[in-house]
């Protein structure tokens, strides 16, 4: 179907409920799929819409009472008149030629001359003559009139709404293609990284592949620097591909060897998997604060009384409170409780349960080297950091290490941002940082979000140049206030009603989008909505394969053809005046 062949006519609708469109007789209802991108040409404006529902209609109840025989002549006679297909559209954006256009006065005069009810085709031609810079898309505050024609979206429409990846004025990244159309849908990465974002979907829908795509785009376009807490060690070096036959996909370190640094909390596991040049990472007891234990109180089975006594111990012994506690005898605990008004039973229970921390391979009594400071130095140098957990991927290990590291980086970024606000020097501006966490509902659920550093980052760290990329299969477990701060939501298939409700927290027109989300394929499809994209759209996500590797990665210097190396060297010498 081309742009000049209308699919149907608007028969009724409202701004709040959307448009009802009756399909023309020559249009197959089976070609209309939920999530499809369509356009409606009104008398003055052009409306960009999403298809949210498909239904069948009849002109008379007698047809339903006495249906024609299959494949009969009567069935062909009724098609389009007695029986017809209808679709529901939700307008998302609109464009009115001449209203805010930057075109020359001559073209504006032509548009005004053509703005008559009988000149709809002329209006359509004038729209097609616009350049992308001339088109300013506006929020929908009205609807097209009766019998306005509906068209399949053209490549021109997609370019006008979603841009293109090689746009020199923006950092666009193609995340996929719309349903039934081979045109890239692009995210504006500058808008993407300035707010916290989420990748959601039930298990097995490809969240990790989606996240890998996004991180690759951020690195390739240099939109921000990444800190990735890699729970299952699948973002750094390589990961297994799902399928009947075993195969692997490249991680970020293989795609960008000079820009990605891997730190590991389990060096033995990292070496067994053949990861090169990974830096060891250890955490000492003096880096663990009471707030970190509050996050893992469920995994350690800590009572409220134990945490209150932990605060007493910290106030007395400072950063070394855990080391002192683990070394205390029963008599020393008794003496401490008598002088400091502590509870002996609670402190003894705390001592017993904190002994579990010795089972974690990355915990040390003390660390002469500042490993977290080394991560900060890598980030300041523009390196993207992947923290691998290896065999230490249980929830206690993951949540404790992630919170400890992120809390210290948070403090450093707050100081840097405050210095930048004081000096206003470009050299003092911190690099935009995106922190990726998995199992995000464990950090951001309503009962613990106040104690975790991630709750603070999600709510207020945007002004300090730090945002989150949360990856989760249970968005309903995330605090509603935090979900309302999620700027862009990339959602694969979800079945649970609570999870679907959580995705649309704070989203207008959520009811129509619910049906779109429920009809996604279980693989390689996602609904994208939010700050980094002009309107909600369903995409077939970009394949993460050899073609993608070639498009996204930069070849190593030694792999470049000799002629390219020679020309680059000559250019460098010319710049230096040699």
What tokens does 103 get?
């075109």
Give 191-244 pLDDT, tens digit per residue: 999 999 999 998 888 899 999 999 999 999 999 999 999 988 889 888 887 766
Q: Is the pLDDT of residue 310 over 50?
A: yes
pLDDT band at 569 (very low <50, low <70, confident <90, very high): very low
Report yes or no: 378 and 434 within 8 Å, Cβ to Cβ. Answer: no
Tell me how crowded residue 235 is: count the other CB atoms within 10 A of its CB.
Answer: 28
Averaged pLDDT for residues 17-28: 91
Share of the chain above pLDDT 90, in %: 28
Tell me how crowded residue 325 is: count the other CB atoms within 10 A of its CB.
Answer: 22
Check residue 461 and give its pLDDT. Answer: 67
Give 344-364 pLDDT, tens digit per residue: 889 899 999 998 888 888 898
Report yes or no: 31 and 181 within 8 Å, Cβ to Cβ. Answer: no
Radius of gyration of the chain (CA): 29
Sign of CA dihedral 489, 490, 495, 496: negative
Give 23-66 pLDDT, tens digit per residue: 998 888 888 988 888 999 999 999 999 999 999 888 777 777 77
* Matching CATH number, 187-278+370-557, of 1.10.150.20, 3.60.20.30, 3.40.50.300, 3.40.50.20: 3.40.50.300
Check residue 74 and give its pLDDT. Answer: 64
Tell me how crowded residue 537 is: count the other CB atoms within 10 A of its CB.
Answer: 26
What tokens does 432 get?
């935009």
Q: State the Cα angle at 218 between 214 and 224, rounded to 5°.
A: 135
Check residue 336 and give its pLDDT. Answer: 87
Phi, psi of 151 (to 5 degrees): -125, 155
Q: Average pLDDT of the chain?
A: 83
Higher pLDDT, 125 or 142: 142
Q: Give the contacts of 167 (CB within 8 A, at least 6 positions apart).
A: 186
Q: Is the pLDDT of residue 433 over 90?
A: yes
Check residue 228 and give its pLDDT. Answer: 94
Q: Give the contacts of 509 (CB within 8 A, at least 6 positions apart).
A: 90
Task: Give the Cα separation of 252 and 250 in Å (integer).
Answer: 7
Give 68-120 pLDDT, tens digit per residue: 767 666 666 667 677 888 999 999 999 887 654 444 333 334 434 444 444 44
Question: Where do the domains of the chain lie?
Answer: 8-162, 187-278+370-557, 286-359
Class of residue 556 by CB neighbours under 10 A (exposed 0-12, middle 13-18, buried 19+): exposed
What is the per-residue DSSP string for 358-403? GGSTTEES--SS-HHHHHHHHHHTT-EEEEE-TT--SHHHHHHHHH
CA atoms within 13 A on the CB side of 173: 26
């Amino acid at each position: 179907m081309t742009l000049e062949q209308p699919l149907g006519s608007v028969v009724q609708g409202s701004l709040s409920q959307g448009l009802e469109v009756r399909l023309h007789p020559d249009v197959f209802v089976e070609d209309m799929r939920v999530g499809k991108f369509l356009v409606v040409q009104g008398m003055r404006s052009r409306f960009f819409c999403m298809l949210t529902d498909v239904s069948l209609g009849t002109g008379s109840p007698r047809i339903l009472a006495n249906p024609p025989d299959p494949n009969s002549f009567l069935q062909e006679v009724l098609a389009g008149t007695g029986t017809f297909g209808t679709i529901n559209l939700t307008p998302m954006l609109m464009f009115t030629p001449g209203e805010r256009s930057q075109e020359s006065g001559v073209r504006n005069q032509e548009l005004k001359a053509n703005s008559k009810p009988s000149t709809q085709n002329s209006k359509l031609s004038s729209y097609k003559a616009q350049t992308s810079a001339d088109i300013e898309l506006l929020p929908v505050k009205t609807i097209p009139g009766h019998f306005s024609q509906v068209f399949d979206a053209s490549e021109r429409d997609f370019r006008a709404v979603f841009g293109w990846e090689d746009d020199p004025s923006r950092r666009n990244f193609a995340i996929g293609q719309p349903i039934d159309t081979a045109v890239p849908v692009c995210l504006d990465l500058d808008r993407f990284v300035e707010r916290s974002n989420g990748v959601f979907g039930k298990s097995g829908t490809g969240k990790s592949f989606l996240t890998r795509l996004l991180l690759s785009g951020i690195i390739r376009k240099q939109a921000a620097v990444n800190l990735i807490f890699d729970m299952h060690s699948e973002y750094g070096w390589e990961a297994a591909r799902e399928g009947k036959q075993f195969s692997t996909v490249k991680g970020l370190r293989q795609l960008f060897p000079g820009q990605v640094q891997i730190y590991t909390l389990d060096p033995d596991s990292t070496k067994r998997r053949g990861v090169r040049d990974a830096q060891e990472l250890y955490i000492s007891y003096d880096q663990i604060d009471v707030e970190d234990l509050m996050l893992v109180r469920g995994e350690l089975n800590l009572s409220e009384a134990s945490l209150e006594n932990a605060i007493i111990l910290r106030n007395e012994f400072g950063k070394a409170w855990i080391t002192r506690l683990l070394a205390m005898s029963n008599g020393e605990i008794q003496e401490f409780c008598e002088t400091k008004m502590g509870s002996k039973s609670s402190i003894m229970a705390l001592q017993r349960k904190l002994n579990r921390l010795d089972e974690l391979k990355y915990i040390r009594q003390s660390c002469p080297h500042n490993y977290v400071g080394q991560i900060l130095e890598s980030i300041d140098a523009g390196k993207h950091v992947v923290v691998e957990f290896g065999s230490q991927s249980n929830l206690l290990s993951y949540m404790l290490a992630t919170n400890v590291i992120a809390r210290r980086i948070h403090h450093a970024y707050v100081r840097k941002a405050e210095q930048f606000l004081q000096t206003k020097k470009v050299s003092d501006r911190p690099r935009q940082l995106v922190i990726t966490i998995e199992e995000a509902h464990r950090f951001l659920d309503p009962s613990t979000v106040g104690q975790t550093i991630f709750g603070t980052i999600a709510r207020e760290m945007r002004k300090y140049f730090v945002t989150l990329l949360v990856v989760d299969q249970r968005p309903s477990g995330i605090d509603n206030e935090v979900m309302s701060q999620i700027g862009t939501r990339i959602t694969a298939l979800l079945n649970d009603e609570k999870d679907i409700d959580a995705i649309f927290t704070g989203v207008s027109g959520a009811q129509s989008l619910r049906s779109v989300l429920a009809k996604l394929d279980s693989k390689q499809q996602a609904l994208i909505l939010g700050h980094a994209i002009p309107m909600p759209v369903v995409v077939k996500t970009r394949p993460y394969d050899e073609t993608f590797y070639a498009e996204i990665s930069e070849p190593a210097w030694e792999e470049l053809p000799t002629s390219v190396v020679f020309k680059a060297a000559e250019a460098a010498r010319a710049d230096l005046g040699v």
